[in-house]
Amino acid sequence: MDANRAGAGFSKPQPLSHKIHLDFPLLAGLLALMCISLVVVYSASGENIAMVKRQAINVGVSLTAMLIVAQFAPTFLRRWAFPLFFIGVGLLVATLLFGHVGKGAQRWIDFGFAKFQPSEAMKLILPVMITHYITRYALPATLKHVSIGVILIAIPVYLIYKQPDLGTSILVGSAGIFALFLAGMSWKVICSLIVSAIPFSIAMWYFFLHDYQRRRVLTLLDPERDPLGNGYHIIQSKIAIGSGGLDGKGWLNGTQSQLEFLPERHTDFIFSVLSEEFGLIGVIVLLCIYLFIIARCLFIANNAQEPFSKILAGAITLTFFVYLFVNIGMVSGLLPVVGVPLPLVSYGGTSMITLMSGFGIIMAIHTHRKVNR
């Protein structure tokens, strides 16, 4: 009842931010990232102003999406959790069956008027579903509920993995796992999951991973194995980052990016462009913004009134972190190349809309408070 009392303590009228359901500090952090995105995309695209304009449109659209999502109270999400989940899984199955093949993977469903990527929506639907399911019962979650939760996670993760889209399936999976973790899944279960992960990953290696994914892992361990093939991305990316040094080569002056040695430099490898041109200092500034956003979101989560809101906000936040960790880890050679964009900075609308919708949910959690219950 702490929160209630605190709410009651402020007898003043609701502040503006709560009226329009936005959290200004969080919004400031997000806008800062988006500004960085526009600046770096301009450089990474070879000073292509049309591309910057398209990215600006992406920013606008995703801000609108965030604003719209923020208007719905968390109870609305709870109510729709099950139907959304079933529709989402249904669409994933449909994608596998009739999906549009692009870059060798089936990710899109073409509705005629628009293309839709169900796996993107799943990044939000799954944490909502898991959180909804697990918070129906008293916390900490029991082993039985955790087990059912894991099964619920496994279904969409497997379907996305089959597309094949390893990056997204990792992100979707981690969103669900974080929900379980925050719901108080016991440490015993966590440890046994980690221990069982070892034989599981060996089995994965031999039976489930595609050849190209295996090669990616192998080249991660030793990029020189294949300097012109799979290792090329990692080598060129590390050269870009390393040659940036402490203070960088300056905006538009990165030779690795301007001379196109860096692959996918405006999407997955945009972090390398930033590192090359702005150096370690620029990188630390970027990481600080990320850390601020995460801290603010976890603060919001902790201050939420009910377990569903808390866990959902926490899971979305931690997934956001997985995004940036996997991306930066991969471009700097710590993790294999799995095709995860740098959140809110990489060029592209799809992931940005999903991410901002996620932040919309967090803002809704923060602003839709039941003041008088």
Partner 1 sequence: MFLRHRTPIRNQTAENSLFARRAIIAFCGVVILILVLVINLYNIQVNSHESYQTQANGNRIKVIPIAPNRGLIYDRNGIVLAENIPTFSLELIPEKVKDLTETINELANLVTVSDDERARFLKSAKRQRRFKSIILKSRLTPEQVAKLSVNLHSLPGVRIEARLKRFYPFGESLTHALGYVARLNKKDQAKIILDGEEATYAATRDMGRLGIEKYYQKLLHGQPGYREIEVNNRGRVVRILKEELPEHGQDLYLNIDIRLQEKAYQELAGRRGSVVAVDPSNGAVLAMVSSPSYDPNLFVHGISTKNYKKLLSADKPLINRSTMGTYPPASTIKQLMALAGLEAHIINEHTSIKDPGWYKLPNVERKFRDHLAWGHGNVDVYRAMEKSCDTYFYDVANRLGIDRISTFMDQFGFGQYSGLDIHEEKRGIMPSRQWKRERHNQPWYPGDTISLGIGQSYWTSTPLQLTNATAIVAASGKIYTPQLLGASQGSNGLLQLPANEKSPVILKDNYNWEIAQKGMWKVVNSPGGTAYNVFKGADYISAGKSGTAQLISIAADEKYDAKKIKERHRDNAMYVGYAPFDKPEIAITVVVENAGGGSSSAAPLARKIFDIYLNKNDNNNTSLLTHNTLPKQKKSQASSTGTIHGR
Amino acid 215 reads: R
Q: Which range of residues in 23-31, 100-108, 199-207, 294-302 is near partner 1 by CB under 8 A?
A: 294-302
Our CB check for partner 1 shows the closer of 15 and 83 to be 83
- Asked whether position 275 contacts partner 1 by CB under 8 A, the answer is yes
The secondary structure of residue 225, as a DSSP letter, is G
x/- site string to partner 1, residues 81 to 110, per CB under 8 A?
A: -x----------------------------
- Asked whether position 80 contacts partner 1 by CB under 8 A, the answer is no
Count interface residues toward partner 1 (CB under 8 A).
Answer: 55
Shortest separation between residue 283's beta carbon and partner 1, angstroms: 6
Our CB check for partner 1 shows the closer of 14 and 253 to be 253
Our CB check for partner 1 shows the closer of 213 and 243 to be 243
CA distances from 183 to 81, 127, 137, 293, 312 (A): 17, 12, 10, 22, 10
Shortest separation between residue 259's beta carbon and partner 1, angstroms: 4
Q: How far apart are CA 15 and CA 278, in angstroms?
A: 38
For 331, list phi and psi in degrees, rounded to 5. Answer: -75, -20
96 within 8 A of 159, measured Cβ to Cβ: yes
Binding-site member from 39, 67, 87, 294 for partner 1 (CB under 8 A): 294
Interacting residues with partner 1 between 187 and 226 (CB under 8 A) = none
Our CB check for partner 1 shows the closer of 275 and 351 to be 275
- Asked whether position 347 contacts partner 1 by CB under 8 A, the answer is no
Neighbours of 192 (CB within 10 A): 11
Binding-site member from 91, 318, 345, 356 for partner 1 (CB under 8 A): 318
Q: How far apart are CA 303 and CA 298, in angstroms?
A: 8
Shortest separation between residue 308's beta carbon and partner 1, angstroms: 11
- Asked whether position 137 contacts partner 1 by CB under 8 A, the answer is yes
CA distances from 356 to 131, 179, 183, 252 (A): 19, 19, 24, 28
**Which residues, 6+ apart, have CB-to-CB distance to 68 below 8 Å?**
360
- Asked whether position 42 contacts partner 1 by CB under 8 A, the answer is no
- Asked whether position 27 contacts partner 1 by CB under 8 A, the answer is no
45 within 8 A of 359, measured Cβ to Cβ: no
Our CB check for partner 1 shows the closer of 120 and 264 to be 264
Shortest separation between residue 117's beta carbon and partner 1, angstroms: 27
Binding-site member from 6, 143, 203, 287 for partner 1 (CB under 8 A): 287
- Asked whether position 71 contacts partner 1 by CB under 8 A, the answer is no
Binding-site member from 236, 346, 354, 357 for partner 1 (CB under 8 A): 236
- Asked whether position 126 contacts partner 1 by CB under 8 A, the answer is no
Shortest separation between residue 239's beta carbon and partner 1, angstroms: 5
- Asked whether position 243 contacts partner 1 by CB under 8 A, the answer is yes
Residues in touch with partner 1 (CB under 8 A): 1-2, 82, 133, 136-140, 145, 148, 178, 181-182, 184, 236, 238-246, 255-256, 259-261, 275, 279-280, 283-284, 287, 290-291, 294-295, 298, 301-302, 307, 310-311, 314, 318, 321, 325, 328-329, 332-334
